[in-house]
Amino acid sequence: MCDWCEKYGDGYERWYFNPANYARRLYKIRKEEAVASGAEANPQAAGGMAFVGRDFIEARDRGDIAEVERIKQQTEGAMWLTHFGQVLTLEEAHKITDIMYPISLISCACRRSMEGLPDEENFTCMGMGPGMYKWERWPDTYRGGVHFLTPDEAKEVLSKLNKRGLVHSIYTFGTPYLGGLCNCDYPDCAAIRTVVDLEIKILWKGHYVAKIDPELCNGCASCIHRCQFRALSFNPSRNKAYIDQFQCFGCGLCATECDQEAITMVERASLPALANVW
Amino acid sequence: MLPTIIVDDEKCEDPLSCRRCLIICPTHVLGLGTDVGAQKFRETDTSHFIVRPVRFDKCSGCMDCVDGCPQSAIQVSFGGGDAR
Ligand code: SF4
Ligand code: SF4
Ligand code: SF4
Ligand code: SF4
Ligand code: SF4
């Protein structure tokens, strides 16, 4: 079972369907976060959101496995208490818009950092829960302002971003308080690139795993570009898409693109070898 | 091999409107930060934005950013060799 559902699910099917996790005591993490995770003292100066510092990259470069493990565990431990995410399917993201309020469309800090995008082209991130009511305290985090959305508007925005190829995920701000519904891609999203490139689990895999039906797949390859996690490739020998299910993060972007319905999203818990692969 | 990438913040005056190096780096190495951190109750003035090698572990050493920066603000070097 997913650790977070076990700890914070309280009888709900998923921890992020438990309304209590959107309404807990507001977080106080801004200061501690950077120090605890071993990133540069000013994470913004380190480039938006660097979760680890140069010491980690250097340890990896010289093959110092013990040091890599040490920093990795220290970073994960700190981030799991304060700020980490889990991948969602579009259906799950839609469902969340019905159980929490308010929800707002905001500019994306990661893409501001990595693309230098002007705010008006950068409304891809969502902030939610009572924490949003104090957004004016942090005008820099919310550059370009905040659009509060109705649940229906939020679903529409999520569907559009899904079409564009962005991965949905949910983030804590002082675990288990859930405050971010993010829509992201590799490598500009700090969380996706940290988990994919550095294998530090800032982002947990979701509750589903994609599975190909080789009988239904016609080899059109139109799903291949949708994967942001290096789990999906094309197999010329069989003329079919190939999914590495151990690498799949369960975002469902490939499945929503396949008009042959050759990809289904299977419950992770139903696959013994994958049930604990997060 | 890991690079040393140095950006001269004096020369790079307004990276948010230039952002040329961010766009031309083929491996998305460079990103923006600020030299003041998050500030309560006010938006950071764009003059505080700075360019930093966020994903320096993905730098190939192609020098496209060095050659493409209109202000010649970026230096990239490997193994302690001469910066270009
Ligand atoms: S997590 Fe995703 S949506 Fe949120 S700020 Fe980063 S890239 Fe943007
Ligand atoms: S989109 Fe569907 S049919 Fe086309 S390659 Fe992918 S799985 Fe196969
Ligand atoms: S294989 Fe499909 S569901 Fe899995 S991570 Fe890639 S796009 Fe998402
Ligand atoms: S190209 Fe040069 S001047 Fe432009 S943002 Fe990059 S470092 Fe600054
Ligand atoms: S040298 Fe090439 S790969 Fe390295 S940061 Fe500059 S543009 Fe990017």
Chain A, chain B: beta-carbon pairs less than 8 Å apart: 79
Tell me the pLDDT of chain A averaged across its residues.
91
B76 lines ligand 4 (CB under 6 A): no
- Determine what percent of chain B falls in helix, strand and coil, rounding each to the nearest 5: 25, 20, 55
* Residue B20 DSSP code: H
Answer yes or no: is pLDDT of A49 > 80: no
Residue type, B26: P
Q: What is the pLDDT of residue A45?
A: 42
Give yes or no for a contact between A84 and A172, defined as CB atoms under 8 angstroms apart.
yes
CATH 3.30.70.20 placement within chain A: 208-270
Distance CA B51, CA A142 (A): 20
- Contacting residues for A56 by C-beta, under 8 A, at least 6 apart: A38, A68, A71, A72, A75, A198
Point out the residues of chain B with pLDDT beneath 50: none
A274 lines ligand 3 (CB under 6 A): no
pLDDT band at A34 (very low <50, low <70, confident <90, very high): very low
Cβ neighbours of A113 in B, within 8 Å: 31-33, 54
- In order of their start, the domains of chain B are 3-37+44-77 (3.30.70.20)
pLDDT band at A33 (very low <50, low <70, confident <90, very high): very low
- Contacting residues for B7 by C-beta, under 8 A, at least 6 apart: B30, B50, B51, B52, B53, B73, B74, B75
Q: Is B24 exposed, middle or buried (0-12, 13-18, 19+ CB in 10 A)?
A: middle
Angle (nearest 5°) at CA A130 between A174 and A184:
65
Per residue in A112-135, pLDDT tens? 999 999 999 999 999 999 889 888
Q: What is the pLDDT of residue A138?
A: 84
Q: What is the pLDDT of residue A44?
A: 43
| CB-based contact, A32 to chain B, within 8 Å | no
| CB-based contact, A47 to chain B, within 8 Å | yes
Q: Name the residue at shortest CA distance from atom 4 of ligand 2.
A: A220
Is the omega angle on the peptide bond into residue A236 within 30 degrees of 0, that is, cis?
Answer: no
Answer yes or no: is pLDDT of A37 > 80: no
CA distances from A80 to A43, A173, A175, B46, B76 (A): 17, 10, 7, 32, 35
- Is domain A208-270 classified as CATH 3.30.70.20? yes
Is the omega angle on the peptide bond into residue B3 within 30 degrees of 0, that is, cis?
Answer: no
Distance CA A19, CA A154 (A): 17
Residue B2 and residue A46: Cβ atoms within 8 Å?
no
Percent of chain A with pLDDT over 90: 81
For chain B, the first-to-last Cα distance in angstroms comes to 16
Taking the CA atoms of chain A, what radius of gyration do you get in angstroms? Answer: 19
Residue A208's DSSP bridge partners are: A267
The mean pLDDT of A212-236, rounded to a whole number, is: 98
Residue A48 and residue B58: Cβ atoms within 8 Å?
no
| Whether the model pTM is above 0.80 | yes
Answer yes or no: is pLDDT of A35 > 60: no
Q: Name the residue at shortest CA distance from atom 8 of ligand 2.
A: A217
Measured in angstroms, how far is the CA atom of residue A145 from the centroid of ligand 5?
A: 33
Residue type, A128: M
Answer yes or no: is pLDDT of A176 > 80: yes
Q: Name the residue at shortest CA distance from atom 6 of ligand 3.
A: A227
Give yes or no for a contact between A278 and A201, defined as CB atoms under 8 angstroms apart.
yes
Residue type, A244: D
